[in-house]
């Protein structure tokens, strides 16, 4: 609408100027009339230019405001995603160790009067599990330090190289765990390390799966961890032979979501180098 009005205005002004010049040439009007028309056209052109400049400035300000809102929304989205990722990391780090300490503390309380030696051993396991939880929590929180802060000594993130220790902890709780390493199709002779993200994901998936087996598969249940490594993939399968237990309460959906999300994130690299001998036997 504004563009149409401007076109009509300029058309009328140009037509008036042309008519005034024609009449002046023919001697039908005086020179002062031509000058008056020229001044009117100049004023109209100046006013239109000023209005256009103001409209452009308003449009630029509105565009900048929208871009700022979009940046703020993107920042809020990234913060929410980062908070969720940190929550998953902290849960994965401490859930297993705290559950282990809880079980061993219950054992110690149960046999404290009758079998003090076994109670002492269970309390030692509680201390070890608590120390492991603190160490892993310290390493995870250390990754969140801002750049420029004093660096603190950090231990490497857990991976399949620590699978023996992980399985030993479950075996002390009474869970029968075995590991099977399956050869992939045409495995290459050379072995190389796994990417850090894939190595950590495999460790966490096994840890959470065995924790769920211990909680929900029933007494006397056993589990088999199958690890298959191909030139472009790492497959981890955890099977148990126990009876299915009670379903996880709806207010605690994080472990299953975490395993699925971690598996998807670990599948992102296009090539996983074939690797090291199977741990955890």
Distance CA 234, CA 98 (A): 28
Contact by Cβ (8 Å): 214, 170: yes
Query: pLDDT tens digit string along 95-146?
Result: 777 887 888 888 888 888 888 888 888 888 888 888 777 777 777 666 666 4
128: left (phi over 0), alpha (psi -120 to 50) or beta: alpha
Distance CA 197, CA 91 (A): 17
Query: Which residues, including other chains, have CB under 8 Å from residue 99's CB and lie 6 or more apart?
Result: 211, 214, 215
The pTM of the full predicted model, rounded to 2 decimals, is 0.43
In a domain, 127, yes or no: no
Query: pLDDT tens digit string along 204-239?
Result: 889 888 888 888 877 778 899 999 888 778 889 998
Write out the residue range of the structural domain in which residue 209 sits.
157-281
Count structural domains, the chain.
2
Q: Which pLDDT band, with edges at 50, 70 and 90, does 278 fall under?
A: low
Query: Which residues, including other chains, have CB under 8 Å from residue 222's CB and lie 6 or more apart?
Result: 175, 176, 177, 178, 240, 241, 242
In a domain, 237, yes or no: yes
In a domain, 43, yes or no: yes
Exposure string of 113-144, with b = 16+ CB inside 10 Å and e = fewer, is: eeeeeebebbbebbebbbebbeebeebbeeee
End-of-domain residue from the set 49, 70, 91:
70
Mean residue pLDDT across the chain = 72
The yes-or-no verdict on residue 18 having pLDDT over 60 is yes
β-bridge mates for residue 179, sequence order: 225
Four-CA torsion 12, 14, 20, 22, nearest 10 degrees = -120
The yes-or-no verdict on residue 191 having pLDDT over 60 is no
Whether residues 55 and 170 share a domain: the answer is: no
Contact by Cβ (8 Å): 88, 258: yes
| Top-confidence residue, 12 or 174 | 174
Token digits of residue 271: 């090539």
User: Out of 79-83, 113-117, 153-157, 229-233, which region has the weakest mean confidence (pLDDT)?
Assistant: 153-157
154 exposed, middle or buried (CB, 10 Å; 0-12, 13-18, 19+)? Answer: middle
- Give the mean pLDDT of 182-193: 51
In a domain, 31, yes or no: yes
User: Out of 54-68, 115-129, 250-264, which region has the weakest mean confidence (pLDDT)?
Assistant: 250-264
């Amino acid at each position: 609408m504004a563009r149409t009005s401007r076109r009509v205005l300029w058309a009328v002004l140009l037509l008036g100027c042309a008519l005034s010049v024609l009449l002046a040439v023919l001697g039908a009007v005086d020179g002062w009339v031509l000058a008056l028309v020229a001044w009117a056209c100049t004023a109209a052109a100046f006013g239109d230019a000023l209005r256009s400049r103001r409209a452009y400035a308003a449009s630029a300000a509105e565009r900048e405001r929208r871009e700022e809102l979009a940046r703020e929304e993107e920042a809020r989205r990234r913060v929410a995603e980062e908070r969720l990722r940190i929550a998953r990391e902290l849960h994965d780090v401490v859930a297993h160790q705290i559950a282990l300490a809880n079980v061993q503390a219950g054992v110690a309380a149960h046999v404290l009067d009758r079998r003090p030696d076994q109670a002492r051993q269970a309390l030692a396991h509680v201390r070890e599990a608590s120390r492991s939880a603190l160490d892993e929590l310290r390493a995870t929180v250390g990754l969140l330090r801002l750049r420029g802060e004093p660096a603190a000594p950090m231990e490497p993130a857990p991976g399949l190289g620590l699978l023996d220790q992980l399985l030993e902890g479950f075996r002390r709780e009474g869970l029968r765990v075995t590991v099977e390493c399956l050869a992939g199709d045409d495995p290459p002779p050379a072995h190389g390390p796994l990417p850090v993200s894939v190595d950590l994901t495999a460790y966490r998936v096994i840890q959470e799966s065995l924790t769920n087996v211990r909680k929900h598969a029933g007494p006397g249940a056993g589990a088999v961890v199958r690890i298959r490594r191909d030139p472009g993939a790492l497959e981890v399968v955890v099977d148990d032979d126990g009876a299915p237990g009670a379903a996880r309460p709806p207010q605690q959906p994080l472990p299953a979501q975490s395993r699925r999300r971690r598996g998807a994130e670990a599948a992102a690299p296009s090539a996983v180098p074939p690797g090291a001998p199977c741990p955890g036997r």
